[in-house]
Each structure stands twice: as structure tokens, then as C-alpha cells.
Chain A
Amino acid sequence: MKDGWLEQAWNRIRAFFHKEPLDADLEAEMASHLEMAVEENVRRGMTPEEARRMAMVRFGGMQQAREKQRAARGLPFVDVLGQDMRYTLRTLGRDAGFTTVAVLILALGIGANVAVFSVVNTILLRPLPFPQSQQLVWIAPPPQKCGLSCATYSIDAYEEFRAQSRSYQDITGYNAFTGPDNLRLTVGNGEPQPLTGMEVLGNFFQVLGVHPMLGRLFDPEDTLKGAHWVVLLEYAYWKRQFAGDKGIVGKEIDLSGEPATVVGVLPESFDFGAVFSPGSRVDMVTPLIPDYERDDGNVIPLIGRLKPGVTVGQAQADAEMVVPKLCWNIKYPQSCGSYVNNQGASIEVRTLKDYVSGRLRRSLIVLWSAVGMILLIACVNLSNLLLARAAARGKEFAMRSALGASRGRMVRQLMTESLILSGAGAVLGLGLAWALVAWLAHQGSLALPLLSTLHFDGQAVGWTVVMAIAAAVLFGLMPGLRMASGNLIETLKDSGHGASAGRKHETVRATLVIAEVGLACVLLVGAGLLLRSFLKVLDIDLGFQPDQAASMRVVYDDSAANDDARAARRGVIFQEMIARVSVLPGVKAAGIVDFLPLGPNRAWGTPTPQGKTFPPGALAAPLVYVCTPGYMRAMGMRLRGRDFRWDDGPKSQEVVIINAAAARTYWPGEDAVGKVLMSGNTQLHVIGVVDDVHTSSVEAEKGWQIYYSAMQRGPDDAHLVIRSSVPPATLAGSVLRTLRAMNPNQPAMEFQPLRMIVDRAVSPRRFFMLLVGIFAGLGLLLASLGIYGVIAYGVTRQTQEIGIRMALGASRGRVQRSVLGKTLSMVLIGVGVGTVASLAVARLIASLLFGTEATDPMTYAGVIVLLLAVALVAGYLPARRASRINPLTALRTN
């Protein structure tokens, strides 16, 4: 054996490809062998006939000898496989209906699985698209009510933290308050184009390990006060705006009226929005100049790269040592230590990966399980279809067995069939998944992280192969074993249409259907609970009316000698702007605010009610909004007291509007209107109380909010909000023309219906709900097909029996009832099992639900009614057929 095996293997392969000459050679050799044998026998005195017969006897089976020789010289395994495949393709081709249904079911099951796998892989499994991304951590204070301002650090705090921490190679950050479309690009005399520029600290890309595709990254000199403005382009923006012009590096562009130099283009693999602000687009990156932001308070979240070998736990311990030393602003010594709150927890270090995708972990796992269940249902269904086929093909296999086919050989043949079916399903499913993935990757408004980096890759193909093989084994093995183990004699004798035959068969198939119904039930309950939660979320009173309203970012120039002059100038500009927009036909109300709800937000310290003391830490900093008169009406917010007036300017007493939650805390049981808040030594006169607005997210708790007049405090941004009596989109043109007439520099900003902002905020929930819903629908469809298949098949098998019963006097109604009864009993068991399983599963997804109990009776009742209704329809069709059986025909045929 040891010697010559390599040569033999090579010869075997050669022989495999030269079947015909080798066969001819063997034939000639065998013929010559027989002739010699006959000759010798004749010489011994036999008659020629006897001689020939004896020669044949001594030679043994000619065909066996041939096959043995072929097996010895060639690749018998491949030969058998080829035979099986040819045979399979023939039989499947004959049964085109079955094949189509099977392949389609599998394609749906496998396609959905691969698409979801790609999403899960991108968001959850794959490391972030940075080198040694496991070293990257997100450093932020623990979540608090005061929004982004309490989730970020000031420049002074950052610099101190960076200097004192021992765990990091380096730490960086970006300006979390960068709003969309914050810059405008003017090319020649063209209209200014809005774009989003993200401000990052100078070492941002070095910490992340991102290298520019063209040009260079930021230098330390770029971040000094008074440095020439430089920008890095994001790949997608470079392609879109500059048509991928490689010569752009070093060129100067007009950014918001100032010259800026493009120093580089970022690689395609880097997408700021995909990692740090899902659902929004960042076009270019500019250096954050610390000295300009030093007095702006908390603006940057921190991202650190741990030293090799340092764990997140160690970094956390290190950070807790450093935090008490941090100052909000070193100019104010009393601000030192302000990053420690009275609850003790002051800082949280977690992996960047966890920050980016941790929230979605459970949703994605639920999605993955749901899609896995779909494949499971599809396999159970196919198993059933194959069992039905197996019953019909019982004779064929009994015959093959009688002709000498071994059991293993038949199971192998059936597994080949399963693999070919699942292979075809996989190929089709791959196409489906590819299309789904390509579509999903371009859903920019879907606020899921890393979605734009979603692509179809080798891992997805690998997963497809795994799915295909798993599916083939799942749905093919049982029918295969059953068929191969059938009793030969019984099958051959039995015509396959006897009334009592195949009882065991039916039990197996009924069990499969019960499993299918159970799985579908679990899926439907899950989808139902998520749907109820989603409806509850949509039903939330946001504190403003998102319909019939839209917003647009506006640019204005209020530059003046001092703050008061600026405020006065701003007031004039805003008043004119709102006056002009308000007279446009269809506009009911208009106002300006610096931050819209559900977007970035900030806080400005903690005012206290005049003359009252609260224990330290009892009051948190309210979120701050700076707005003009009319803003609250345009938003559809409910205000008690009075709105701001245009004369609430720099010269008059300072007025604020607070939200109901803040009012309840400051003056419990009293009317807040007319009271005074103290912010340091400044008196803030409360002129109104507004109903709570969902500011941070649709689902999160409502915090405290305080609104200032745009003529008394400086807004950080300006969004014009318009409430209209016509669809808001129709106003886009006239509003932009009005703004341009006032300020030619006004870029063509997106005219964003408020509904869109809300939709974006709930898009992840909608996405998961929709997908699980689709999977549940698919599961229901497959389960109903399964029910129909089993009942219809049972009716076909029992045609004769039903005929006899009807001939003996059974009425049509009775026959129908018995078929329906069988369906119902099967489905009821399935629903029972499914409901129990659902109760267990629902507890696992409880954290994904909103305002809905995991045991929500409405959902369960709905699902049970739905399943029973579908089952009745699926059972009714065969039942009707059964009741129409003509006893005479039934008894005559067969």
C-alpha cells in the first residue's frame, strides 16, 4: 500500500477521464479470456455449447467483473455522484412543480438568512473598521438627563485627562455639536451648496489609525489659533462633489465665505457618520481648534486608544482616579471637580465597539433568531413535501432495493437530491441576499451604525454554503432514512393507496406540521409584540406636532461690536425673516430655534428657583434652547403663559420658558409662571410653561428644558420652523427664495419635514419591527402551506376510504367536518406548544418592547385567532375536495 499509492491516485484520475478506450480494452481482454477458456474446454472433450457455458460459469458475472475493474481503476465515488446527479436532475425535472416550490422556499429562507447574517456580521461580529480596533475605547460620563452637554467634556478637561491618564497611547475627540449642513461650499458664482463638516481634534485620525488616501492628515500647526483653514474630504463627498479629482489636494475652496485648503482625501473605508452618528452624513472633516472652543463648555466626547495589554477595567480604574481633578474651565477654580456627581459614578470607559453597536445587540440577535426560525420552518415544510414524495416513490425505491441497491446507496441518492435542491435554493438565495444587502447599504436615513460599510463578502458566501448544507441535512435526512428503511415486501405488495397504510407516516408528517405551526406562532407573537410596541412609540405625545411642519437651516450674519449689539441686530434679522416667511401662502406660523428636538442638544449649568434650596445633586442642568417668538406655535407645542416677544431684547429683563417637568421640580404644586430662577446672579423670569418635549429620543424619559429668547442669549445655530396648511414640501421653493432675497449666501439647505426627523429617530425600531414582521408573515405562509399539504395529501390517500364511507351513507358535511376536525386538532396542538414557547421567548425580548408587556393578552389572542383562521382556510380547501368525492369514481379507480 505504502509504495505506489501516489502513482495509483494519478492513474485513477487519468483513468476517470479515459473511460471509453479503457472499457474497450477490457472488453477485448475479456473476450480473449473467454475464447481461450472455451478452447481449452473443447480440447478436454466438451461440446462447444457445454464448453462455452462452463467458461462463462468460471468467469463469473461479466457485468460484475466490468464494474469491479472500473471501480479499481477509476474514481467510483465520483462516478456514483455523477449518476446520482443525473438521476436527480431527471426526477426533479419531471416534477417541475415540486422543484419550483422547494427551490423558491429555500431561496427565501437562505436569502433572508444570508442578508441578515451580513447585517449582523457588519454591525455586531466584525471588528470596527480600524486597525487594532479592540484597543479603542469610548470615554464619557454615565448617561444623565442633561443630554449631550453631560455626555461630553470641555477642552480643559480633555487636556487634563489626556495628560494625567496612564492607560492610553493617546486620546482624541470630536465636536459633538456639529449639526448637519453646517457649512456651505461656493464654487465660482454658483449657488452655495450645503455640506456637513465635522470638527475633530488634530490627532483624531492618528488615534483611530486611519491613513489618508490622498494628501496628508492634520498637522499640529493646523489646530493653532489663527491657523489657515484646512479640510480633509470624505471619500463619498470627494467622488460626488469633485468627481474623484486627484488634483484636488492642495487646492483652495470657498467654505462658508472663507478660503480653506483641501489637504487630503480620506479612504473609502472611513465613514465618520457610519461609526459615530448613524443615519447622518458627514462630507468633510475640519480641525477643531482648541483655543476657540475652550470657553464653550462641554463639547467633545473622548475616544482613547489603550496601550497594549491594558484592559478596559484598568482604564476605568485609572479614569476614576483622574476625573475628580478635571476642571470644566481652568479659569474658574470652582468648576474643578465638577465632573464627579453625587451618585459616585463619574465616568464610564467602554469599548468603542460596544458604544457603536452595543445597543443593537439584542435586536440583532432577535432578528437573527427570527430569520433562523424561518429557515427551520422552510426545512420542516420541505421535509414534509419530501415525505409526501417519498410515499409516492416508495415503489421505485423498493424496486431499486430488490435489484440490489444498498440502503446507504439509496440514502446517498436522496441526500444528493436534497443537496441539489438546497444548492439551487442557495444560488437563488444568494442573488436575493445580494440585492437586499445592496439596497440596505444605501438606506442612509436608517439610523443603524456601520450600515454604509455593509457589503456582500466571502463570509456571506461561506455562510450561504453552511446554510445550504445545514438545510439539506435538516430537510433531507429524515425522509431519506424513512424511505430507505421502508419494508420492501410491504411496499411492493401495497399499492400505496390503502386506507390504513402509512399511518405512521401520517403521524410523522402531522408532528412536523405541529412543529411548523409552533414556530410560526412564536414568530407571530414576537412580531406582534414588536408591532404593538412600535404603535405605542408612534402614539407617544412628543410635545410637538410633527405633521404639517418642516424646518430649514438658515444662515445669517449678526456680527457686531458687542453681544448686545449682536443680539439687537439678530432680532431685526429674525423678525424680518419670520415676517416675510409668514406671509407666504400656506404658512400658518414660523419661528426660529437653535436646536431642534431629537437632534443634538446642550445644557448651560443649573439654575435654581429664587429663595429655595435643594439638596446638592437634586437638580440637574436643563437642556437649553434659544428661540424666537412664534417658534412654539410653529412646532405645535402647548404653552401656558406668554410666548417670547420681539421686545424681549438685551435691554429688558431676562425671560425664560420652562417645561412642565422642570416646573414641577422647581415649584411643586405651584404655578411657575411669574416666578424667578436664579442662574448665578442673573434673574430669569419665567413667563411660560410648555408641555414636555421629547428632546433626546422618542422613547427616552423627558428631562428638563429651558427656553431663552434669541434676542437675549446667543443661539448656536438657526433652524427656521414652519407650520403650514398645505403639504410642507410644496413650500420649499418659496421659502428658499424668500431667504435668498434676504441673504444671497443662504445655501439650498434640506427642507426637512418634522415628521422625517421623528421617522429617522424611530427608524431602527421600525426596521427591526418590519423585518421580524416580514419573517413572521413568511412563517405563517409556510406553515399554512404545510397544513394544506398534509391535509390535502391525506385526502388523496384516503380517497377510496372516503368513497366507501360516503357509499355507506356519510353525508358531505360529515366528511368535511372530519377533515376540518383533523386540521384543527393538529393546529390546536401546534398553537398550544407555540404559545408556551412564545411566553418563554417573549421574556427574552422584553427589553426591546415599549409600553407592552411580554404577556400582552391582545397579541396572544390575535395570533391564536389568526393562526386558527389561516389553518381553517388551509384545511377547508382539501375538506371541500373530500366532500365532493364521487363514491363510484373513487371505488372504481385504483
Chain B
Amino acid sequence: MSEEKLDLLQGTLDLMVLQTLAAMGEQHGYGIARRIEQVSGDEVLLNQGTIYASLVRLQQRGWIDAEWGISDNNRKAKFYSITKRGRKQLKEDVAYWRRLAMVMGRVLEQ
């Protein structure tokens, strides 16, 4: 297991999850996973199961909340929603990623 690679992936996935919740509001794990797959144009090959590690981590940091509820088609599911602190964190992370992407773009294009 190469730890560095995992870290980067984790961070990326965490940001995707936060953004999804910010955009869609309350959502369950399956919903989040599907949404990420769709938005990314199926370019991210996501093992949906890994999303739960990300969710529990964000929850422990206090960036998202979770609550059991009933889904549209009457199924019991755990619903996640972004917290105020989560939004603040998202803003910071998005800014960071934009900057990083810009710098990377410049470096790679020269």
C-alpha cells in the first residue's frame, strides 16, 4: 500500500463529496457516489464502497452531519448534509484546487 498516493486520492474524494453535498443538499451515500460518477462523466473509476471511509472522516471532522431517514422510494438510508464549517472548508479547498490547477496548467504548458 503506497500511502502517498492514497492520501491524494482521499483528499480528492473528500472534496468531491463536500462539493456534491453543497450542490445537491441532503443526500445518501449511494446518491453521492452516483452523482460523482455522472458529473465526472464516468471518468473517475470509483469503487463506490470507498466513499464510506470519506464520509466517516468528514463527519468526524465536523464538516458534514448524518442522520438516518427514508429515501424517495421508501427505503431506509443514511442522509448526509454539509455543515456551516463544511461550507467554509469547501470554499478554502476549492480556492486551493483552482490555484493548484492553474499553476499546474502553466507549468505543463510552457
Contacts and interface: CB of A to CB of B under 8 A. Distances in A.
B17 to A, nearest CB: 12
A73 B76 contact: no
Interface of B is mostly: helix
A69 B77 contact: no
Contacts of A4: 60-63, 85, 89
Name the residue among B47, B73, B76, B85 with the largest chain A CB count within 10 angstroms.
Answer: B47
A72 B47 CA distance: 16
Interface in A47-93: 58-62, 64-65, 68-69, 71-73
Contacts of B63: 4
Given A8-B61, A12-B60, A29-B78, A65 B50 contact: yes
B54 interface: yes
Interface in B22-51: 28-31, 33-34, 47-50
B104 interface: no
B52 A26 contact: yes
Nearest to A25: B78
B53 A32 contact: no
Given A32-B28, A60-B47, A11 B77 contact: no
A46 interface: no
Contact of B56 (A3, A5, A69): A69
Contacts of B61: 3-5, 7-8
Contacts of B56: 69, 72-73
A37 B29 CA distance: 11
Contacts of B28: 32-33, 36
Contacts of A28: 76, 78
Contact of B57 (A32, A62, A73): A73
Contact-residue size bin, chain B (C-beta under 8 Å from the other chain): 20 to 34
B12 interface: no
Contacts of B76: 28, 32
A406 interface: yes
A11 B34 CA distance: 28
A101 B43 CA distance: 60
Contact-residue size bin, chain A (C-beta under 8 Å from the other chain): 20 to 34
Given A32-B28, A32-B78, A61 B49 contact: yes
A15 interface: yes
Contact of A29 (B29, B57, B71): B29
Interface in A1-43: 3-5, 7-8, 11-12, 15, 25-26, 28-30, 32-33, 35-37, 39-40
A799 B76 CA distance: 65
A65 B1 CA distance: 15
A29 B51 CA distance: 12
A68 B30 contact: no
B62 A7 contact: yes
A8 B60 CA distance: 5
B75 interface: yes
B49 A30 contact: yes
Contacts of A62: 49
Name the residue among B29, B30, B54 with the largest chain A CB count within 10 angstroms.
Answer: B30
A15 B61 CA distance: 13
Contacts of A61: 47, 49
Nearest to B77: A32
Interface of A: 3-5, 7-8, 11-12, 15, 25-26, 28-30, 32-33, 35-37, 39-40, 58-62, 64-65, 68-69, 71-73, 406
Given A7-B60, A73-B60, 19 more contacts: A3-B89, A4-B85, A7-B61, A7-B62, A25-B78, A28-B78, A33-B28, A33-B29, A33-B30, A33-B77, A39-B75, A58-B47, A60-B49, A62-B49, A64-B47, A69-B52, A69-B56, A73-B57, A406-B1
11 contacts: A8-B60, A11-B60, A28-B76, A36-B31, A36-B71, A36-B73, A40-B34, A59-B47, A60-B47, A69-B53, A69-B56
Interface of B: 1, 28-31, 33-34, 47-50, 52-54, 56-57, 60-63, 71, 73, 75-78, 85, 88-89
